[in-house]
Structure 1
Amino acid sequence: MEKLKKIKIELYNLKTKARKIFKRGYEDLTMLIYYHDLKNQFRLLIINANNLLLLEKEITRAEAFRIMNTRS
């Protein structure tokens, strides 16, 4: 099992030089999408209430916009 990483979301964009373009929270989980201009990359992050990174995955532009446009 992959080791969970403690993450400070405020510093994530400074470390990766990406900017947060979307955030959605539900109960104790938060989903964030970051975009890196120079690499033209979208990243999906899922974190829990204790700021433990549960998932970090590169996604396509289409996937990012589908997630952002989905109503819940």
Structure 2
Amino acid sequence: MDKLRHIKLELYNIRTKARKIFKRGYEDITMLIYYHDLKNQFQLLIINAKDILLLEKEITRAEAFRIMNTRSQ
């Protein structure tokens, strides 16, 4: 796994030129999906309550939409 690092989410879209299209929180973990218009890429971010980036992974369009359309019970 990549090294843990602090991230300012409000600056993530400026730095990467991506826009947030999805956000879901579970207790102290938050999952976000960003879309890069220029690269036509989807990025999955998992952060904890202290804004420490736990995972940053490129995902396909199908994976992004499957995550966004999955409803928790």
Distance 2:39 2:46 in 1: 21
Q: Which residue of 1 aligns with 2:10?
A: 10
Cα drift, residue 16 of structure 1: 0.2
The superposition leaves residues 13-58 of structure 1 with CA deviations (integer Å, 9 ceiling, x where unpaired) of 0000000000000100000000000100000000000000000000
Q: What SS class does the counterpart of residue 71 from structure 1 fall into?
A: coil
Q: Which residue of 1 aligns with 2:33?
A: 33
Structure 2's unaligned 5+ residue stretches are none
What's the TM-score once normalised by structure 2's chain length? 0.96
Distance 1:3 1:37 in 2: 27
**RMSD value, Cα:** 0.8
Distance 1:54 1:16 in 2: 17
Asked if 1:48 corresponds to 2:48, the answer is yes
Amino acid at match of 2:16: T
